[in-house]
A and B are shown apart, each in its own frame.
Chain A
Amino acid sequence: MMKVRTRGPDETRGLGLRIGKLLNAGDIVGLYGELGAGKTTITKGIAQAFGIGERDIVSASFTLIAEYPTNPPFVHIDLYRINTDEELDHIGLGEVIGGQNIAVIEWAEKAAQWLPDDMIRITLKTLSEDEREITVKGLHEKDRHRR
């Protein structure tokens, strides 16, 4: 487990980039935290490790799933509007996580039953207006090698 404090979105994004560089194809990253905690911001950083521009990651609350044709493929999922397990099935969550895909899931608690135990969990806590406490679990427990 790793616990980090960030000051401002730039630092949160920077942490995301560092995490992104440690990911391997097939990894699933769950993001937990209230509205405005920085979930989309850290996703921008993680995606940057796969060559996706900062402007190309936006809130996915509307489209729910945004797929990027990177190598490995990057999928940004936002479950903000999901209310039932049945809906997860209908949006095709099972088809976009796992395999070779790198999946980053905002509001991952809404898909708790769908997600494997050995996934990476990032919890973002709002300490003050621009301070966040970010806890990363599952990143070092796995046998991972640097990309």
Chain B
Amino acid sequence: MLILGIDTSCDDTSASVVADGAVVLSNIISNQTEIHRKYGGIVPELASRRHIEMIWPVVDEALTTAGIHLEDLDGIAVCKGPGLIGSLLIGCSFAKAVCYAKTKPLIAVNHLEGHIFSAFLEEPGPEFPFLALIASGGHTSLYKIEGFSRYEELGRTRDDAAGEAYDKVSKLLGLGYPGGPVIDRLAKEGNPKSIDFPRAYLPESFDFSFSGLKTAVMNYVKQQSGIRDQAAEKTGDQSGYFSSMLHSLSLSDIAASFQASVVDVLVRKTEWAIKKKWIKKIVLSGGVAANSELRRRMKEMAEERGVELFIPSLLLCTDNAAMIATAGYHHLKAGNIAGLDLNPQAYLPL
């Protein structure tokens, strides 16, 4: 069974052909990070316009790479949300038009469901039941997955997503966008114990909160630059010596301490869910799953607890359409076909 998956939920236009929900024949992603970097974040106007320009070429490329034609498809799966509404609309409108023109079944997939199902694109995939931690720029949620379409949300962020905290902290440290890779790199040179940033464990809940951490980093930076300016003033230093010295000294420590706080919370909460729910399998997905420290600490914890850990490859962790096609395959098998009146939603919990 051949499914074309389409994802336009955020900055990348992505299309993929997946056979039988398991074999990726193509997975094309228009990487727009280059365009977005200079704007300090995902620029929606730019993203929407790029999606319109990119969707046909990306879909064409996906079909060509897979060596098939639109006629060969058994269905088209599209991400219906959550995400940027303007961007989602382009993917959904495109998928509806093609389904109508070619009389193919339209399948609507929740982006978060896609992230969970990305684990089935690797060998071996997890068996039900398992826990899934999705951490990205837009989401941070923990689920218990009992089977297809049987998802229990254990917790989710009450304010900022983990990846969002990385992006905001990176911006305030002047490190640019995206924040994940640069903070991860800097953190390797810093001391994670140098600054005691808060960890919001929210006892009695599997929810997350990263807003207070972001604020704490900002207050710390403000305080440090105050000390720095005073030192420069006292010594009459005009050369910027103090500013450059303190900057290079503390930046990697701030990065390492910030990262330690994020990773501590993500790992501890997952560990707690393992204990409480008696589940010995974990799937870690979403863009933050690319973080080297999170991967290392999660592996360490999984080994200690004798738990199986599944982390999809980098390309499948981040936003991609293969995961949408895979989840779509299961929907189609279950007869969940969407109407052509499908409307995307920006806010759409699983």
Contacts and interface: CB of A to CB of B under 8 A. Distances in A.
A9 B239 CA distance: 41
Interface residues of B, number: 35
A63 B83 contact: yes
A65 B219 contact: no
Given A90-B48, A92-B85, A59 B215 contact: no
A92 B86 contact: yes
B207 A63 contact: no
A61 B156 CA distance: 16
Given A36-B219, A63-B84, A58 B41 contact: no
Given A55-B207, A58-B157, A91-B45, A63 B82 contact: yes
Interface string B209-253: 001001100110000000000000000000000000000000000
B86 A59 contact: no
B164 A61 contact: yes
B268 interface: no
A66 interface: yes
B347 A68 contact: yes
Chain A interface mostly helix, strand, loop or mixed? loop
A63 B214 CA distance: 19
B138 interface: yes
B172 interface: yes
B43 A87 contact: yes
A63 B159 contact: no
A118 interface: no
Given A64-B84, A66-B346, A66-B347, A59 B44 contact: no
Interface in A82-105: 82-84, 86-87, 89-92
Contacts of B86: 90-92
A62 interface: yes
Contacts of B83: 63
Interface string A41-71: 1000000000000110011011111111000
A2 interface: no
Contacts of B214: 35-36
B275 interface: no
A62 B112 CA distance: 14
Contacts of B137: 62
B43 A81 contact: yes
A69 to B, nearest CB: 10
Q: Which of A58, A67, A84, A86 has the most CB of B within 10 A?
A: A58
A40 B214 CA distance: 13
B305 interface: no
A81 B157 CA distance: 20
Contacts of B37: none
B130 to A, nearest CB: 24
A83 B138 contact: no
B139 to A, nearest CB: 8
Interface of A: 34-36, 40-41, 54-55, 58-59, 61-68, 80-84, 86-87, 89-92, 129
Interface of B: 10, 39-46, 48-49, 82-86, 137-138, 156-161, 164, 168, 172, 207, 211, 214-215, 218-219, 346-347
